[in-house]
């Protein structure tokens, strides 16, 4: 059986199929060919080339006509992908119309074709990511509202703190997703712009027709025309990479929380189950957080890739040596990892399994200690902060030493019972009565989400 090169064993796990198609060899080549076809149309519109040349050029701008393996070999000598592609394109056109071949790639440079082609790919990638984020946000908003009043132990420094609600925790994930969606909307006008500058960025080869052609080319590609070419000004794509890094990190936080909640000792929230999902090669009982692992893995890998984009920013003069090259596979890899994390996050959010009874039992693991603050706050208003804090601290130590519930210890302490009735103590030591603004945070996060969706 013939083996195809590549990391296909892991592709389905770490990246989404649609994103792989955007950045596969066919996707890259087709994007550059789309730029070449649009350039011919634009130059014909302003009268630089005859209209009869457009059809033969467009017909040749079909990625399926080209040998990617041969292009790959040629790139190793040429130094970029556009040089051998334009040569192959010229041969393809000449075979049908030798006259039309004279007008292909007129006035453009290799980086114009590669960067504008990349922007076309990023537009597709951006659409996929925005759609996934919107669907993820919808699911998180639904889950946050569903569990807005479901208490569980808050955890600080990995230890039980005061109670929170699962809805509040999910609302935190939702808020991060909403902010990322806002960032993508804000950067889109800066990212989706044409690259067209010719040899050194002046478009001198096109003379007085340069700007009309640039405008027509931008219209043909449905991109904005920037104030000037950006061959060595890479802030646009680095900004996009940085926002994708934020998305990866936020999804990693979601995955980390779920994986910790899935631990045997917690067992409060689970990824959705499916046949064969999360098993072990040796332990039949295992249910591993395999979706969360993708989120955490992406959050671990993406920052290094984003740092490569930042490192490649100080590019030399009007065309970079090596720094531009460092971007070629880096940004597509970031897009792929984020797409895979989003794919898994959507599955998690859609099918989240919650054990509210286990949450309630876990809240009692400390036998009331997690609500010591609630008692201390009320008692402080009656006997003073320092005295109340010291008194509760002593009661907590006694409860631990005697392995008794804090409610029983407080009920035996005259300095406490002199100020707080049995009913007050029962109320204060009920987790459902010490959730603060948790439900308000859910409402606000969902409102932010809804405002963005409209």
Residues noted as catalytic: 280, 319
Distance between first and last Cα of the chain = 52
Contacts of 115 (CB under 8 A, 6+ apart): 195, 230, 231
């Amino acid at each position: 059986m013939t083996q195809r090169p590549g990391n296909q064993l892991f592709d389905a796990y770490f990246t989404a199929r649609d994103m792989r198609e955007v950045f596969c060899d066919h996707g890259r080549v087709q994007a550059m060919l789309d730029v070449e076809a649009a350039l011919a149309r634009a130059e014909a519109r302003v009268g630089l080339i005859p209209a009869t040349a457009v059809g033969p050029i467009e017909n040749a701008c079909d990625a399926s006509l080209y040998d990617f393996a041969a292009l790959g070999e040629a790139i190793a000598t040429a130094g970029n992908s556009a040089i051998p592609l334009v040569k192959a394109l010229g041969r393809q056109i000449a075979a049908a119309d030798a006259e039309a071949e004279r007008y292909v790639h007129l006035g453009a440079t290799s980086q114009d074709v590669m960067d504008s082609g990349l922007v076309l790919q990023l537009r597709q990638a951006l659409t996929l990511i925005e759609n996934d984020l919107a669907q993820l946000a919808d699911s998180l908003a639904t889950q946050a509202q569903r569990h807005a009043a479901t208490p569980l132990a808050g955890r600080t420094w990995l230890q039980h703190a005061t109670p929170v609600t699962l809805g509040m925790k999910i609302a935190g994930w939702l808020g991060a997703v909403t902010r990322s969606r806002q960032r993508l909307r804000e950067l889109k006008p800066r990212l989706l712009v044409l690259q067209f500058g010719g040899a050194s960025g002046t478009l001198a080869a096109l003379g007085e027709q340069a700007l009309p052609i640039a405008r027509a080319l931008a219209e043909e590609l449905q991109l904005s025309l920037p104030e000037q070419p950006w061959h060595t000004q890479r802030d646009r794509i680095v900004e996009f990479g940085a926002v994708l890094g934020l998305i990866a990190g936020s999804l990693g936080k979601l995955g980390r929380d779920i994986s910790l909640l899935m631990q045997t000792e917690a067992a409060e929230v689970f990824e959705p189950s499916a046949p064969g999902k999360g098993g072990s090669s040796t332990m039949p009982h295992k249910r591993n957080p395999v979706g969360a692992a993708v989120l955490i893995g992406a959050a671990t890998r993406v920052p290094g890739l984003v740092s490569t984009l930042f490192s490649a920013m100080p590019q030399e003069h009007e065309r970079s040596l090596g720094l531009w090259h460092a971007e070629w596979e880096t940004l597509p890899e970031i897009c792929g990892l984020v797409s895979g994390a989003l794919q898994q996050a959507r599955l998690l959010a859609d099918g989240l399994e919650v054990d509210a009874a286990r949450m309630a039992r876990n809240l009692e693991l400390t036998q009331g200690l997690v609500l010591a603050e609630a008692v201390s706050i009320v008692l402080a208003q009656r006997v003073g902060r320092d005295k109340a804090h010291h008194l509760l601290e002593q009661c907590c130590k006694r409860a631990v030493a005697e392995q008794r519930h804090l409610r029983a210890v407080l009920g035996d302490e005259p300095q406490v019972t002199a100020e707080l009735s049995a009913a007050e103590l029962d109320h204060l030591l009920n987790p459902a009565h010490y959730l603060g603004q948790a439900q308000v945070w859910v409402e606000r996060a969902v409102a932010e989400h809804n405002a963005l969706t409209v």
